[in-house]
Amino acid sequence: MSSVEPELVGCVVRNASAEGCQAYVAAQVAAVRRRGRFPGPRRVLIIGASSGFGLAARLQLAFGGGSATYGIAFERAPSAEQGGSAGWYKQQAFDQLAREQGVQAESRFADAFLPATRAQTLAWIRTHWGQVDLLVYSLASSVRIREDGQRCCAVIKSLHNSLEGWGLDLAAEQLIRQQVEVATAQELADTEAVMGGDSWHAWVSALQQADLLAPGFRTLAFSYEGPAFTHAWYRDGTLGAAKRHLLQTADQLRDALVPLQGDARVVMCKALVTRASLVIPFLPIYLMLLMAVMKEKGLHEECLQQMARLFADQLYGPGAPRCDALGRWRLDELELRADVQHEVLARRAALTAENFRTLGDYDGLRAELLRQHGFAPLSG
């Protein structure tokens, strides 16, 4: 399909194939179409619309729910020196398919943290839509530049003790030993500023103050928790702290939306192969084992299937989101099934540098990452 070869560094693909990304999005659209239509919301704003759950949500809502969507993403455009990012090509592919199939869509490449981006987006909504029915917050970034110029960088660290364990290097095709250090107070604060709920709150508040929220407006953000053995390096680390801040934000927004009979929720998703997830220390190992077990049990889902369950089956379908004691909507119940986790733990205990390919779905994880960047899976 493309003469471009993938450039892998660790678990990061540093380039993308334009033609492959277009084919990837086209295949996702076809899958949504095959599943059938559902009555989606009229007007949807998606913050972080070019990859992962944000792109999957946009695909389901636009091509399955008939929603008009406005997607914002901060991606690298192609230049004379280098190609564009996968997210840039995928958002371009989405726009092209939307035009061809008569789906209402507007896209913007911009930094969603910037007040100027909010102001320009609000002006567009006021002119073209009048109001918004749903805001999907799926921003995945490691850096935020504040209005005063301060640079905040998110880190993936522990809050208590340094940790060591197996990691995965897809470029070298081997296991590696990884270590996670303890975060400083400033690193924790910066991580919450980047990955917590500040920006989500700013977007919803700005829309509400401008009278751009429709009656019954809903907003949601995505999160993850995982099984108990992942908590030391996820839930109980800087990432978990940022996710708790996200949950607190949902509670605040829910209170603020009472006059509109609106709602704000955090959606707990299953662990999946995304650009963001594979840079988390130790998580690729867990993902590889989880994928193998869930595929064997016929339970495996990717982002698109998770978003189909959320929007087509639950939120705008015949069911209702499954809510936990903290008010979070749960989509991770299949991952956390006792039989699934029992088998994952057994394989994790037996894992070595020699048998990781057979105990886990190494080939499937690698192929999915490459597909997301527009590269056909490697043979074998």
Q: Which residues pair with 163 in a beta bridge?
A: 180
Q: How far is the C-alpha of 143 from the C-alpha of 346, rounded, in Å?
A: 37
pLDDT at 380 over 70: no
Residues designated catalytic:
234
132 within some domain: yes
Q: Which residues pair with 71 in a beta bridge?
A: 46, 107
The number of folded domains in the chain is 1
> Which CATH number does the domain housing residue 248 bear?
3.40.50.720
Q: What is the pLDDT of residues 250-308, one digit of tens each?
A: 999 999 999 999 999 999 999 999 988 999 999 999 999 999 999 999 999 999 999 99
169 within some domain: no
282 within some domain: no
Cβ burial 218-235 (10 Å sphere, 16+ → b, else e):
bbbbbbbbbbeebebbbb
Report pLDDT for 377. 65
Q: What is the pLDDT of residues 75-122, one digit of tens each?
A: 999 999 899 999 999 999 999 999 999 999 999 999 999 999 999 999
Q: What is the mean pLDDT of the chain?
A: 95
57 within some domain: yes
252 within some domain: yes
Q: What is the pLDDT of residues 336-368, one digit of tens each?
A: 999 999 999 999 999 999 999 999 999 999 999
281 within some domain: no
338 within some domain: no
38 within some domain: yes
300 φ, ψ (degrees, to nearest 5): -65, 140
Closest CA to 196 of 221, 226, 160: 221
Q: Are 25 and 88 in contact (CB under 8 A)?
A: no
End-to-end Cα, the chain, rounded Å: 18
Q: What is the pLDDT of residues 207-253, one digit of tens each?
A: 999 999 999 999 999 999 999 989 998 999 999 999 999 999 999 99
Q: How, if at all, do strands 213-223 and 132-137 pair?
A: parallel
Full residue range of the structural domain in which residue 42 is found: 15-156+184-273+300-332
